Amino acid sequence: MLTDTILVINCGSSSLKFSLICPQTGETLLNGLAERLSSESAELKYSFQNNKQVTSLPAPFDHQAAIDVLVNILKQHQLVEKVSAVGHRVVHGGEKYALPTRVDEQVKQTIAELAKLAPLHNPANLIGIEACEKAFKHLPQVAIFDTAFHQSMPEKAYIYGLPYSLYQEHCIRRYGFHGTSHYFVASQAAKLVNKPIESCNFISAHLGNGCSVSAVKNGKSVDTTLGLTPVEGVMMGTRSGDVDPGIIFHLINQLGYSAEQVNHLLNKESGLLGVSQLSNDCRELETAMFEQDHAGAKLALEIFCYRIAKAIAGFTASLTELDGIIFTGGIGENSSFVREQVLTQLSLLGVEIDPDKNEATRFGKSGVITTAQSRAAWVIPTNEEWVIAEQTQQILSAE
Ligand code: AMP
């Protein structure tokens, strides 16, 4: 019988994901998602013991309403007593938070101040924290920051080639994101190579709608592709990744774009969607390419894979040893095509894909996808919720 479970909350601007997790085993007792919050069509879907339920939310249809419905669900299934703390995913912890942190008034104020670096995410994360504080007054709240794992990067990796005063006065530097995911897959890969994480060196590729590649040296992040914001680095679903900054001025000065339009273009209209002119969804692009010989889909996927391979190859500069390459995220875990395209371009690193293993390792399976004589590459499904539960438990045990 599970007694200590952690409620994990991941709040977006119009959504709230939740899971009730046993921190020791990662077992999920209940999980769900409230979507379209703050609109009349707001609804909450959840799954308990393989039963799926959908319920609409009462007015004002907001995050607080979702949390209140969640409390009722927990009561209905006699789960309230089993929750020992709430762990929150918080996107931006700036330079202040390299570790999981118990939430108090000061921490909330800092998360609010850091909204200038993550205007779409930190305010939503704070709403989730405050809603949970009201609903679970007796429970500790812990913040796990998506930037935290990358706080170990050396200056050469996080300082931009800009006037240093911009860093000193305005905190403009690389922070990186997806830290919890990179940390999780690196710690799982350490088990696969049977070494302590402190002596492991990996390059991990988190490939989902957002994508990032990270270099992990002796178990710590030493470089990553996402930057001050989540637009930098490899190409993503709708985000451009690296572009010549001069393009921005060309768009504004020569083509009459406003700054806001450029922001939208780089974040929402670019990447796989922009190049293919078809979709940001990797599955759809693969289908269009294989079944219709769609030129845009083919080019978008070609650029996507090439840039991931370039990022992986580039990060060998930050390592002296490489135990292997890790794929995770919706695309990394499921697209054998993308993995094959990426790894084929890395033959100089001594990587040789095993086509059968690659094809067989999809849909939640984990394992090696390279031949016996090759440098290893693995698929490892990410589990950020488990890390949040585990780290929340650890901080409470340490207190
Ligand atoms: P995420 O943001 O991690 O949920 O990942 C979303 C991305 O994973 C989307 O681009 C999906 O098309 C992609 N994806 C999910 N399943 C598959 C699949 N079977 N094959 C290729 N891409 C997939």
CATH number at residue 308: 3.30.420.40
SS3 category, 330: helix
Band of pLDDT at residue 148, cut at 50, 70 and 90: very high
380 shares a domain with 261: yes
Q: What's residue 3's pLDDT?
A: 56
296 shares a domain with 218: yes
Total domains in the fold of the chain: 2
**Gap from CA of 176 to ligand 1 centroid (Å):** 21
* Residue 179 resides in a domain: no
* Residue 161 resides in a domain: no
* Residue 159 resides in a domain: no
Task: Select from 125, 145, 165 the last residue of a domain.
Answer: 145
* Residue 263 resides in a domain: yes
Binding site membership of 282 for ligand 1 (Cβ less than 6 Å): yes
SS3 category, 336: helix
Band of pLDDT at residue 399, cut at 50, 70 and 90: confident
Average pLDDT over residues 302-314: 98
DSSP-derived secondary structure letter, 214: E
Strand 43-48 and strand 28-35: pairing?
Answer: antiparallel
Binding site membership of 331 for ligand 1 (Cβ less than 6 Å): yes
| pLDDT of 349 above 70 | yes
Average pLDDT over residues 105-130: 94
249 shares a domain with 133: no
pLDDT digits (tens, 9 = 90+) for 15-33: 999 999 999 999 999 999 9
249 shares a domain with 139: no
Q: What's residue 250's pLDDT?
A: 98
135 shares a domain with 57: yes
Binding site membership of 329 for ligand 1 (Cβ less than 6 Å): yes
* Residue 172 resides in a domain: no
Best substitution site from 334, 336, 337, 384 to test ligand 1's pocket, by max atoms within 8 Å of Cβ?
334
335 shares a domain with 204: yes
Best substitution site from 17, 331, 383 to test ligand 1's pocket, by max atoms within 8 Å of Cβ?
331
pLDDT digits (tens, 9 = 90+) for 167-207: 999 999 999 999 999 999 999 999 999 999 999 999 999 99
237 shares a domain with 122: no
**Cα(278)–Cα(290) distance, integer angstroms:** 14
Please tell me the residue having the least CA distance from ligand 1 atom 9.
281
Known active-site residue 68: no
| pLDDT of 74 above 90 | yes
* Residue 190 resides in a domain: no
371 shares a domain with 225: yes
Q: What's residue 2's pLDDT?
A: 47
- The residue annotated as part of the active site, out of 4, 62, 68, 146, is 146
Read off the tokens for 115: 């909204």
Q: What are phi and psi of 29, to 5 degrees?
A: -85, -40
200 shares a domain with 125: no
| pLDDT of 1 above 90 | no
Burial bucket for residue 200 (CB in 10 Å: 0-12, 13-18, 19+): buried
Band of pLDDT at residue 13, cut at 50, 70 and 90: confident
Task: Select from 109, 128, 145 the last residue of a domain.
Answer: 145
Q: What's residue 366's pLDDT?
A: 97
Strand 141-145 and strand 101-102: pairing?
Answer: antiparallel
Binding site membership of 287 for ligand 1 (Cβ less than 6 Å): no
Is pTM beyond 0.85 here? yes
223 shares a domain with 125: no
**Gap from CA of 140 to ligand 1 centroid (Å):** 34
Task: Select from 103, 127, 145 the last residue of a domain.
Answer: 145
Beta strands, E only, the chain: 5-11, 16-21, 28-35, 43-48, 51-56, 83-90, 101-102, 141-145, 202-207, 211-217, 220-224, 324-328, 367-368, 376-379
Average pLDDT over residues 262-288: 97
| pLDDT of 359 above 80 | yes
243 shares a domain with 135: no
* Residue 26 resides in a domain: yes
Full residue range of the structural domain in which residue 125 is found: 5-145
Neighbours of 190 (CB within 10 A): 19
Q: How far is CA 121 from the centre of its chain?
A: 12
Binding site membership of 201 for ligand 1 (Cβ less than 6 Å): no
Roughly how many angstroms between the first and final C-alpha of the chain, as a whole number? 25
Q: What angle do CA 126, 128, 129 make, to 5 degrees?
A: 65
Average pLDDT over residues 373-377: 98
Residue with tokens 């084929």: 344
* Residue 185 resides in a domain: no
DSSP-derived secondary structure letter, 349: G
| pLDDT of 40 above 70 | yes
Q: Specify the higher pLDDT residue, 49 or 385.
A: 385
Binding site membership of 237 for ligand 1 (Cβ less than 6 Å): yes
The pLDDT mean for the chain works out to 96
241 shares a domain with 300: yes
Nearest-CA neighbor of 49 among 118, 85, 2? 2
- pLDDT > 90: percent of the chain: 95
- With residue 384 as reference, give the H or E element that holds it: helix 384-398
